[in-house]
Structure 1
């Protein structure tokens, strides 16, 4: 009972931290490309996870499971987070996060296909309701003097959801079959994703790393550092703690409450959120709950 409570609280805290981080990432996103932003967060957060792991006295053993965790990091972090940052730049925090509601039903479908975890009629209904809520939001007509939702942004957001779901299923399969500490699992995924990102960014242009350092020196780093600490270091760690203590489906359901935490944040910032967007978010959240609970 205590472990379930820990898992539930960890997932809700991760969702709230990711909501705060998304707002901060959006604020810093105009200064970096999606790949650069993704690399910066990985370079800062990966050592933090390693330091915490060492302080806790953990030790990693090279097994086939860890290699699968690394691959899940490449898919979910290298590709998925880059797509998310691209969507964030084009859609803003609210709509970019709402598209992540696609991840739970996609994860359920992938688990059915690859892990032989069958879907019941109720679970299919939950997936349909989730998708309906997303469609309610992304098909909304833009108010006067506001740009319509970017098609490229929607595609990037959908791509992020697909990668998140793929990485989620792979990570779940490892955590269910092997004894891996939560902080170590988070470190392996983030380190693998960041190493590949460093290679891609380095090959993409000359003096790429120098350009990133120069850009970091020219801006106020506090919002970006806050986003990395809350959204990458703490949120990923809490996600792995939740997965280790409760059903993966419940973890994903609770993580999917992140857009709802944006409502009070946006109201405090005096930003407008349409009733249709709120209704769409609630419909999707209800679908996720039906899908997994």
Structure 2
């Protein structure tokens, strides 16, 4: 059993991220995505700081250099502020199940950004994997529409609101850009304090959003919403804290490719709880699209 610690940690990470997506969708529907983003980052920072104090002896990233602060802060701005702002709003519009499916584009997008900006290699296998991921998503978000009696009408249409799909794509693009910037910004620095720097930037960014839009009352209302706060705490605990920790364990005990492939199964894992919790109806086409997407992501890493 010991030789499978990495694989088990990767599977648990996928489970944690599934719980996180469902919890944040529920909280965002109750109090709005902007409030959820700021509150979950604040909560996550507390969890991360406690973990950093235990594991490193330093609660805060006081040993980070200028390079780390500049580039990881930029990563937090792109990934946490812009990316998650789009992602959490997509939860409200199209739900976490479809949003997480579209978020499967993040690894391929990160590879393309890395190829363009950092000269990283993009192989034929990765290009094929990207095409498979895209095919799976297209199968879910597009559907054939029957022509009217005159033979007119659109043959293909979106199965979900276009705005929600674009928001989720913005989330995937933000996560991909944040990942590339994080890779450059870490430069050998520890992962946990690197995440802390990104979270600090996220907190500052969303605080500015509230200040400029004068929506402090929304935040106050969110804090008084007991049900939303419970879900937010669950999401913050299972995602930025447990999810990050177990993903690190996964890559420590198994290869990055195997860990990434196993952690990418969220679009499939989320189907059952979405049916039970949110009473969503799943079609055979959507199930097939989710499986194809996961296969494409796995192919990308293996």
- How far apart are residue 246 of structure 1 and its match? 5.7
> Partners in 1 of 2:7 and 2:208 — Cα distance?
37
Question: Aligned to 2:265, which of 257, 272, 282?
Answer: 257
Matched, 1:286 2:288: no
Query: 2:171 — aligned with what?
Result: 160
Aligned residue in 2 for 1:184: 193
Distance 2:12 2:144 in 1: 33
Q: Does 1:215 align with 2:222?
A: yes
The answer for unaligned runs of 5 or more in structure 1 is none
What is the number of residues matched between the two proteins? 284
Most deviating of 187-196 and 215-224: 215-224
In structure 2, C-alpha distance between the alignment counterparts of 1:87 and 1:170, rounded to whole Å: 23
Question: Tell me, which stretches of 5 or more residues in structure 2 are unaligned?
Answer: 146-157
User: In 2 relative to 1, CA 255–169 (structure 1 residues): closer, same or farther, beyond 3 Å?
Assistant: farther
Alignment of 1:234-253 (within 5 A): 234-242=242-250, 249-253=257-261
Partner residue in 1 for 2:154? none
| Aligned equivalent of 1:97, options 85, 91, 100 | 100
Find 1:124's aligned residue among 124, 127, 133: 127
Q: Provide the aligned C-alpha RMSD in A.
A: 2.5
Q: Deviations over 1:160-193 (max 9, x none)?
A: 0001111112223345x3131x322222221221
Q: Write out per-residue CA displacement over residues 45-87 of structure 1, whole angstroms, 9 at most, x where no aligned residue.
A: 1122112211223443232134322221111111111111111
Alignment map for 1:197-212 (pairs within 5 Å): 197-205=206-214, 208-212=215-219
TM-score w.r.t. the length of structure 1 is: 0.87
Task: State the distance in 1 between where 2:119 and 2:259 align.
Answer: 20
How far is the alpha carbon of 1:18 from its aligned partner?
A: 1.4
- Cα distance in structure 1, aligned partners of 2:184 and 2:249: 15
What is aligned with 1:225? 233
From 196, 200, 211, give the equivalent of 2:205.
196
**Greater Rg by CA:** 2
Report the CA distance shift for 1:251/1:103 in structure 2 as closer, same or farther (over 3 A): farther
Give the deviation of 1:121 after TM superposition: 1.4
Structure 1 residue 243: deviation in Å? 5.3
Contact 1:104–1:253 under 8 Å retained in 2? no
